[in-house]
Amino acid sequence: MRNLRPSVQIAMDTKNKQRNVLAIDVGASSGRAIIGTFDGETIGFREIHRFSNDPVVINGTLYWDVLRLVYDIKQSIRLAAATADIDSVAVDTWGVDFGLLDKNGDLMSNPVHYRDARTAGMMEKSFEKIGREEFYKITGVQFMELNTVFQLLALKDRYPDFPGGIDRLLFMPDLFNYFLCGVKVGEISSASTAQLLDVRSKTWSDVLLDRLGLPKKILPELVKSGTVIGSLREEICGELGVPPMKVIAVAGHDTQSAMAAAPAKEDDFLFLSCGTWSLLGTELDAPLISDRTLELNLTNEIGFGDKISFLKNIVGLWLLQESRRQWAKEGNEYGFADLERMAEDASPLSCFIDTDDPVFTPPGNMPERIREYCLKTGQREPQSVGEITRCVNESLAMKHRATADKISECTGKRYETLHMLGGGTKAVTLCQMTADACGISVSAGPVEATILGSIAVQLIALGEIESLSRAREIIGNSSEIAIYKPQRADVWEQAYKKFREVTS
């Protein structure tokens, strides 16, 4: 193993030189590559490649098309190098999913999508080996059947010789890093989504692995966010016709990358990373684990600088993304702006759904499931596209309120501002609804929080920015931030009571 250098140990060189770094963000439905430029005071960025991420069903299993993603990552590097001198490259993705390598370092099969049905029942099976309370007190992670630990139990249940020929498990950003530079390590923010870490020691939990009968030998060596792990492989440089560049393990889990970009000036704040998932919480110096946090199913994830993101995963804009796919099948293509306009004409606060109800997890006809949920709970059934869109947005805003209340209860703190980050900030209506539902100011932006977090961590690793707090200050000064103040507090408070009734 080559010497891995945490960001704090990297010496600065050519301090006065403009730095260009390449941030590649691979999301659950699409990816983009952006060149970040730092002149010592501000961060600028420009997109140079965008690509789709389309899962594939084969023999009833839902896979990620990982080879196509590698192709687009390579094209991102080629296009970036053609327009600027690139100092480093970094990849972030969603959490929990992974690829498996054999002893030769070859990928054994395409990684399976977290929405695949293989994990059904695995959580309950795990509680036969280790109690829910002990499980949670080790990991501090929210129980969700899609977590890595339950995916591994599904493999063990399906294949009697598991782990068989598996030599190494790499989480998705680590897998892409390995393809780029040949180093097999596990970056801590992605690893913390697995529900296999002892969150206090930040190491793999021997107790948990032993009880569940899972092999520690396949798990990667852990490194901190912001570690330079290697350089672009010579053969990739030759293939693409690009010069060498550093490969940096940033906060590989996209939520933690976005968190690094939260332009908060206050010590105590709420954040909401809003995209396919809504992840709402606060930043702490140490894990918060108690009987109450277990009851509320809150999670402690590790971010840049060993900060703890104390949060809850909420199903987010997936509901509208999947609804759009259904409407497209029916011959109607709607953009998100179109949906917002149609929602304005729908009756406000007339019906709600529990966005986290398992019925909304799988792909498929989402509008029909929303109608059925409302009908089953004795509410008016939304019919039009605008009515369904409004139902989803208002339900998400209410879910944000419910989660913010839980976070505040557990920390014992009152928050004045919610920093809303990511693509969801483009949904002006949802931003305002979230402010209305939560009764606090919403600071929306930056839109490209995940990308800016990756850029910032790379610049810290390269010695160009001295700290996370300074990076956040620079990002705040470099970004457009919109402020939403709560309105009609009494109306939303009354509607919140109805939401609680139909979703409890």
Catalytic residue among 72, 116, 254, 354: 254
149 contacts 195 by C-beta, under 8 angstroms: yes
Q: DSSP secondary-structure letter at 364?
A: S
The DSSP annotation for 76-142 comes to HHHHHHTTS---EEEEEB-SS-EEEE-TTS-B-SPPBPTTSGGGTTHHHHHTTTS-HHHHHHHH---
Of the CA atoms within 13 Å of residue 129, those in its CB half-sphere come to: 16
194: helix, coil or strand? Answer: coil
Q: For residues 134 and 175, give the distance between their C-alpha atoms in angstroms, rounded to a whole number.
A: 30
4: helix, coil or strand? Answer: coil
Taking the CA atoms of 204, 210, 211 and 215 in sequence, report the sign of the dihedral they define: positive
Residue keyed to tokens 């023999």 = 59
118's CB contacts (< 8 A; 6+ apart) are: 61, 112, 151, 154, 158
Assigned token pair, 414 = 């009152």
Of the CA atoms within 13 Å of residue 110, those in its CB half-sphere come to: 19
Residues in the chain: 504
Nearest to 353 by CA among 364, 368, 342: 368
324's CB contacts (< 8 A; 6+ apart) are: 334, 336, 339
205's CB contacts (< 8 A; 6+ apart) are: 138, 139, 196, 197, 198
Helices assigned H by DSSP within 427-488:
428-438, 449-461, 468-478
Peptide bond before residue 382 is cis, with ω within 30 degrees of 0? no
**CB atoms near residue 105 (< 10 Å):** 12
**Beta-bridge partners for 57:** 62
Residue 254 is among the residues annotated as catalytic for this protein: yes
Residues with active-site annotation: 254
